[in-house]
Amino acid sequence: MGQRSDRIPTSGEGDLQNNPFNALSAKEFKSPLEETTTFAPSGKPIPKKSRGRLDVKREKSGRGGKTVTAIYGMQNIEVREREQLLKKMKTSCGVGGTMKGAVLELQGDNREAAKTILELAGFQVVFAGG
């Protein structure tokens, strides 16, 4: 029996050494968490206006010993935007979460990640409680 001609050689010869992603550079891609700064005509950066204060708490009581990150103070924000922020936080942390009224809850202690996302959305974030 001879060698089949439709097989790809694996001895290191041929097309297996070519990586299609070599032409891409990391400089072309921005991090999704990078903040874009706008500048006034004078060249000074314009500070972002705060959209309100949000309290981020770590809670355990009444949850069977499970830790939950709760975000309070979102009652003046539209439901659609709350859902989008919650989805963004859940995906970046890799955890589950829910929206109970005006309170967003993430499973586990994810206060730092929630703070980063909420600050990029223009909110003033304050850690409250323990």
* Full-model pTM: 0.62
**SS3 of 41, please?**
coil
Separation of alpha carbons 70 and 63, rounded Å: 12
Domains, the chain, with CATH or none: 53-128 (3.30.780.10)
pLDDT at 25 over 70: no
Name, in order, each residue with C-beta under 8 angstroms of 10's C-beta and a sequence gap of 6 or more: 16
The answer to whether the Cα torsion of 94, 98, 104, 105 is positive or negative is: negative
Closest of 114, 78, 81 to residue 95, by C-alpha? 114
pLDDT digits (tens, 9 = 90+) for 55-68: 999 998 888 889 99
* E strand segments, the chain: 53-59, 68-72, 97-100, 103-107, 124-128
